[in-house]
A and B are shown apart, each in its own frame.
Chain A
């Protein structure tokens, strides 16, 4: 079973198991993780599953689509070069061990 780690703004980290093909957002909500809202349920329509991708991982993620790019302009916390929407990060074997940092807030 592959796993990813979410790091909360206070430094606490949660390692969650994730199945192949599942999105990082789905894994987070399935585990009841605070800090990922996902108001639209994973349809890339709301920007409330914002994460900062930890150093080294960004280039290994699938490319960002136009919709995600536009939505990231409206995140509650500042958009950084490492910003992504976790509903658009689909799990593959290569992403085992991925580290995502959670923003202070999602709305």
Chain B
């Protein structure tokens, strides 16, 4: 790591030659996260010519100042003001107030705590059935057979999707999250292969393709109330298809991986299954399935004690913030009794994950079903990592479970 201070405007900001989108980085980001955090409150990444923040305080402050750190110029590396987005921008993720506010209100109501109460029993039954089926198998891949299979068994139905074509869902989500990254091989290949997935998604977002009582239909119903236009509704449905599945897959995968690696925490959960919800939340802090997002400065601003000009991209390391020792005691320990409130695994502020309640529901009912039915989870082979420019998670995790 070198501190160059080559440009006058960034003379106090350490320049690092880290590529946070390289495969070697993804394989084990934690030592480098520490380097990024300790280098200073604001850093400059020469590889992609962007600023970065890796400490909790700066990440949290940026997330909560959307007027200065905007999303409408894209939350990936690309500046929508200068380059054409690869798809029509999201009306919620890639938008600022006041436009964002109206869209957010619609999705918040569609995925509200009271809606979660209505779907809770169904999600619970599906989790219990999934665990029973896995107990019959005993040995399986905790990613494909659990972390993917469970959300796939509840979320598309809750949305109201047709049965055909669902195999496009995970590849599309993977594409969306790869596309936030720089023009590396991960992004280029994802976009080259994107046409069939994009066509499927565009089709499923239409009102006539969504079952009457699902989340998708609820979004379209807001058109009748005059809250959104008929042209906006399909793009809001697209947001749920983009961000509602791969995120929970990686969140659940993280939780299973943690509980399998740390048997003392698994035992605590077995002894008290009501800790399931916090065990999931802590896994989201510990692994941070969504690792990074960018913002763009709307004006000259002081960040981490240094001036940053207008129109600069700043990369927020959510995963590093979630293990910042300035904010967390023993940040590298997975502790299911931890007070997790305030972690930025779901973001913070006006853009904080609108589907966080769905994620927590899925995580809670699955971990609770496991804790009540399974005595032991053992890792039986080398876990394989899946690489994505934004998402952190495994590709496979061979395990054997023993019934309680």
Contacts of A32 in B (CB 8 A): 339
Determine the residue in chain A with the shortest Cβ distance to B117.
Answer: A74
Question: In this assembly, does B222 line the interface, its C-beta being within 8 Å of a C-beta of chain A?
Answer: no
Cα distance, A38 to B115, chains bound together (Å):
19
- Is A39 touching B348 in the complex (CB atoms < 8 A)? no
Contact check, A39 vs B109: say whether CB atoms are below 8 A apart: no
B113 and A41 contact, CB distance less than 8 A = no
Residues of chain B contacted by A66 (CB below 8 angstroms): 105
- The stretch of B10-18, B148-156, B291-299, B349-357 in contact with A is B349-357
Distance A73 CA – B340 CA, assembled complex (angstroms): 24
Tell whether A41 pairs with B343 under 8 Å between CB atoms, given A67-B108, A70-B108: yes
B352 close to A40 (CB less than 8 A): yes
For residue B206, CB closer than 8 A to chain A, the reply is no
CB of B284 to closest CB in A, whole Å: 10
CB–CB A73/B343 < 8 A = no
Q: A47-B113, A70-B112, A73-B113 are in contact. Are A41 and B360 (CB under 8 A)?
A: no
Q: Which residue of A lies closest to B342 (CB)?
A: A41
Interface residues on chain A, number (Cβ under 8 Å): 20
| A100 CB-CB contact with B under 8 Å | no
Chain A residues with a Cβ under 8 A of chain B = 29, 32, 37-43, 45-47, 66-67, 70-71, 73-75, 107
The answer on a CB contact under 8 Å between B356 and A45 is yes
Shortest CB-to-CB span from A23 to chain B, Å, is: 12
A47 to B117, CA, bound (A): 12
Which residues does B use to contact A, with CB under 8 Å? 105, 108-109, 112-117, 277, 281, 339-343, 346, 348-350, 352, 354, 356-357, 360, 364
The residue in chain B whose Cβ has the minimal distance to the Cβ of A50 is B113
> What residues of chain B lie closer than 8 Å to A46, measured between beta carbons?
113, 356-357
In the bound assembly, the distance between CA atoms of A67 and B350 in angstroms comes to 12
Bound together, the chains give a CA A78 to CA B352 distance in angstroms of: 26
Quick check: B281 and A39 within 8 Å, CB to CB?
Answer: yes
Give Cα distance in the complex from A70 to B340, angstroms: 24
Pair B352/A43 contact, Cβ less than 8 Å: yes
B116 pairs with A74, CB closer than 8 A:
yes
The answer to whether B349 and A71 touch across the interface, beta carbons within 8 angstroms, is no
| Contacting residues, chain B, for A75 (C-beta < 8 A) | 113
Give bound CA distance, A43 to B353, whole Å. Answer: 11
B341 touches A29 (CB 8 A): yes
Query: Is the Cβ of B117 less than 8 Å from the Cβ of A39?
Result: no
**What are the residues of chain A within 8 A of B357 when measuring CB–CB?**
45-46
Give every chain A residue within 8 A of B354 (Cβ-Cβ): 45
7 closest pairs, A vs B, by CB? Answer: A74-B113, A74-B114, A38-B341, A47-B113, A73-B114, A41-B342, A43-B352
- Closest B residue, CB atoms, query A49: B341
